[in-house]
Amino acid sequence: MSAPLDPHGKRVVLAHGGGGQLTETLLRETVMPRLGNPLLDPMDDSALLPTDGPVAFTTDSYVVQPLEFPGGNIGKLAVCGTVNDLAVCGARPSWLSLGLILEEGLDLEVLRRVLDSVAATAEEAGVRIVTGDTKVVARGQADGLYINTAGVGALRAGLELGAARCRPGDALLINGTIADHGMAVMLQREGGSQIESDLASDVAPLGGLIGDLLEQVPQTRFLRDATRGGLAGVVADLAAGSGFHVTLDQESIPVRAATQYAAEMLGFDPLNVANEGKVVAVVPAEHEQRALDVLRGHAYGREAAVIGHVGEVRDGLCDLFTYVGGRRIVQKPYGEDLPRIC
């Protein structure tokens, strides 16, 4: 017995994932007008990509709840997350795949808004959606919509990045305020319209900013986007990977007052909260000011700051000089403090 259709054509039904006429209609009327381009238009089983030299390849899945939040939605998040993962590896992001898992009953207007965000963010990031897939599952099996993306980008020639390249005296920089994404999503999820706040996610494609930094400060030693695990996860990995002691200055770490308040209200440490538009960079001491100027010269780096330095002691630990003059070890979070934020 076939699944019932939405007589008004306003919601996803199981038949949209059946590979038949309704699937074709969904792709032709909803997906392709927003994402179509010469590499995707053939709709073959694989995209044929023009490559010359080594490439970076990454994949990620997005299950954020709610699907839409202040500052973005799951579509913008999916593009930015994958673009940023390529960029911090020293690649120039070029192509993405887009896998949609739709839940029966999803409002098609929500899907249109998500796809519009995918298209707009991909255009801003300079990438193309070149292949994809759409599946539909029964009610209660996908929280509305899940997205998987994979990304490909050509690696910059002669570039070497990694924690092992860090040396004593190197400076740690971040391109702006931390914890905005995680706190914006949590406030929306927990309070919805009952909590008034101007806090918005920092979700942003960082390929341009990172490209500027690598071109103007090619001596950059390390890059990592501070997503799940937050800034704490990045600096703990950096210390362990470099083998040196890393010190952070809490007063130098930019945090919005609204974000700090939300974190305190909900019982979270901003260092552990996820970001979706922040990158940690490590550069030699003599290039610290130049790197800071480059970051601040980009729209997504206006609030960039030097937040710490690599020390000479070889213990692989990171500590934080606190506001009150104390010190504490910064550890990688044990688990995921904020589930379903990306």
- Kindly list the domain boundaries of the chain, sorted by start residue: 14-155, 163-329
- Per-residue pLDDT, 5: 57
Q: Which of 208, 231, 218 is nearest to 300 (CA)?
A: 208
Q: Identify the CATH class of 14-155.
A: alpha beta
As its CATH architecture, domain 163-329 has Alpha-Beta Complex (3.90)
Banded model confidence at residue 20, pLDDT cuts 50, 70, 90: confident
Q: Say which residue the tokens 């800034």 belong to.
A: 231
User: How high is the mean pLDDT of the chain?
Assistant: 92
Mean pLDDT across 25-52: 85
Q: Compute the distance between CA of residue 200 and CA of residue 183 in angstroms, rounded to an integer.
A: 8
Contact predicate 160/301, CB 8 Å:
no
Altogether, the residues listed in the chain come to a count of 342
Q: Compute the distance between CA of residue 86 and CA of residue 94 in angstroms, rounded to an integer.
A: 9
Position 68 pLDDT exceeds 60: yes
Contact predicate 49/130, CB 8 Å:
yes
pTM for the complete prediction? 0.91
Position 2 pLDDT exceeds 50: no
Banded model confidence at residue 164, pLDDT cuts 50, 70, 90: very high
The 8-class DSSP code of residue 3 comes to P
Residue range 91-139, pLDDT digits in tens: 999 999 999 999 999 999 999 999 999 999 999 999 999 999 999 999 9
Q: Compute the distance between CA of residue 185 and CA of residue 181 in angstroms, rounded to an integer.
A: 6
- Using a 10 angstrom Cβ sphere, with 0-12 exposed, 13-18 middle and 19 or more buried, the burial of residue 95 is buried
Contact predicate 127/151, CB 8 Å:
yes
Residue range 216-256, pLDDT digits in tens: 999 999 999 999 899 999 999 999 999 999 999 999 999 99
